[in-house]
Structure 1
Amino acid sequence: MVDALMTGTEKIMPDNTLFSLAGRRALVTGASRGIGLTLARGLGRFGAKIVLNGRHAEALDATRAMLENEGLDAVTAPFDVTDQDAVIGGVEKIEHEYGPIDILINNAGIQRRAPLDQFSRADWDALIATNLNAVFFVGQAVARHMLPRGRGKIVNICSVQSELARPGIAPYTATKGAVKNLTKGMATDWARHGLQINGLAPGYFKTEMNEKLVADQAFTQWLCQRTPAGRWGNVDELVGAAVFLSSDASSFVNGHVLMVDGGMTASV
């Protein structure tokens, strides 16, 4: 590892604070498992104080205890991100009891699979409520506190499906495409006030939501052939991108969607 960079006769020491999240508070929605848990842990390891959100207090308490056992600073804030009044109240409580939210990871999401001509209204409404409405509700509630402070990071979790469709998940694709453009809209409105709002778009990762696909040998074979990297992603591989978008390293990055997909969207 290089300890210093040489320019002429001077030594320039690397800036180790560029990716540091020390002293910053990060609210992570959908944090009790999967990508949310991984990102909460990852940001915590870079110094952030983590606020874990989800609907189920017991699951959040178990997650908090696990992170605390790893030496991380974590608290819980259970509320339903699809309920705007609950979101507003929950964010106000975090700001009052724990302190300013510096980083928001807008992660909560669900999946429903069915042929489009047979897709139920109930499943459509559930996808819109969780994958799109919640991003707006939580993003707006948090931004109302960030804007007067003139700083803040919002990372909306998009998807490879923000760009590409696949049979059986057209409504999910619609929600993630909308989140991509909502991210751009948030940046357009709020960047001038000192906020950075970006998207993090995972490709196909080994998560609980994808466990049936992981177990499907035919699908896995197709995925490995379709993805230039030739494999599924591991959730820990999302942490670096999340830390970048949450830190000072991305101070002039706004309205961008960072694909972490093994090259899938770069290849036909």
Structure 2
Amino acid sequence: MPALPDSFRLDGRVALVTGASRGIGEAMARALADAGAHVVVTSRKQEAVDAVAASIREDGGQATGRALHVGHADELADAVAEIADAHGGLHVLVNNAATNPVYGPVEETDERAFDQIMGVNLKGPFLLAKAALPHLSKDGGSIVNVSSIGGVTPETGLGVYSVSKAALLSLTQVMAKEWGRHGVRANAVCPGLIQTDFSRALWDDEQTLGRFTRNLPAGRIGVPGDLAGLAVFLASDASAYCTGGVFTVDGGYLVA
């Protein structure tokens, strides 16, 4: 594999990735480390993030595990400050952690589930980005918010989840518009159906999977690694003129 152009390198930068113990978050964390960043791998369980961080280090990268529950709003500002102090700054924030405890018609989503979805998928990224802003603005930083194609067009059975991801797209563009003066860029990534544990119910049944992929231009569902290159692009100087963007990684689902 040829060396990455210098503009894609992240040497000397610190990246915080939420929901990084598996799936899309883990793939992004590994890619950022491959590009030279010191990656702070976060998720709810310390043992899970320690395992991913150790694996990244075994592969020659720099990584640290740090337990962080994005739904615990009162912990987020202190966590960001501790991470920035421990690693000499913070240059990239990837808001990937998400939840969806319900599947079905929106009228069957109770208030508790609504609050949980919005707390993790929207409020968490908002608070983390606010806490990260003073650190990101020192040298020019990048925020990557992982939304969903459900944020572009609502997905059946994922009503409130789709609403939370649509709001995250709007929040991303607000950040881009207001924080550009601080040298901070914000972009959103919208995955389609990616083969992760989070989406298992949507791809584990062959018949259901066949119906989904039949008219999909790519002819297959995605895998976490399909988002790795885009994460590096948006985190690095290669995307220096990209902010407020919405990047779909959906195999052509939205145009099918």
- TM bucket (normalised to shorter chain) is over 0.9
Hey, what does 2:24 align to over in structure 1? 35
In structure 2, distance between residues paired with 1:240 and 1:15:
11
**Contact 2:175 2:186 survives alignment (8 Å):** yes
Find the counterpart in structure 1 of residue 111 from structure 2. Answer: 121
Deviation at 1:16, TM superposition (A): 1.9
Aligned residues: 255
- Please report how far the alpha carbon of residue 15 of structure 1 lies from its aligned counterpart in structure 2 after TM superposition: 8.4
Cα distance between partner residues in 2 of 1:87 and 1:250: 27
**Which digits, 9 at most, give the CA deviation of each residue in 1:80-112, with x for residues without a partner?**
222233111111111111111111111010123
Contact 2:91 2:139 in 1 (8 A): no
Residues 71 and 116, structure 2, Cα contact 8 Å, conserved in 1: no
Of residues 216, 222, 230 in structure 1, which corresponds to 2:219? 230
CA contact 1:54–1:79 (8 Å) conserved in 2:
yes
| Counterpart residue number, 1:7 | none
Q: In the aligned structure 1, how far is the partner of 2:11 from the partner of 2:119?
A: 33
Provide the aligned C-alpha RMSD in A. 1.7
Q: Which residue is equivalent to 2:181? A: 192
Structure 2 runs not aligned, ≥5 long? none
Mapping for residues 1-268 of structure 1, pairs under 5 Å? 16-111=5-100, 112-147=102-137, 149-267=138-256
User: Equivalent pairs: percent with the same residue?
Assistant: 35
Q: Tell me, which stretches of 5 or more residues in structure 1 are unaligned?
A: 4-13
* 1:6 alignment counterpart: none
Report the secondary structure of 1:23's partner residue. Answer: coil
1: CA distance between counterparts of 2:227 and 2:4?
Answer: 22
- Aligned pair in 2 of structure 1 residues 144, 85: CA closer, same or farther (>3 Å)? farther
Distance verdict in 2 for CA 1:212–1:244, change over 3 Å? same
Question: Does the residue aligned with 2:67 lie in a helix, a strand or coil?
Answer: coil
> 1 CA distance for matches of 2:241 and 2:156?
37
CA shift, 1:228, in A, is 1.5
More deviation in 69-78 or 87-96? 69-78
What are the Cα deviations for residues 52-92 of structure 1, in whole angstroms up to 9, with x where unaligned? 11121111112222222212111122222222331111111
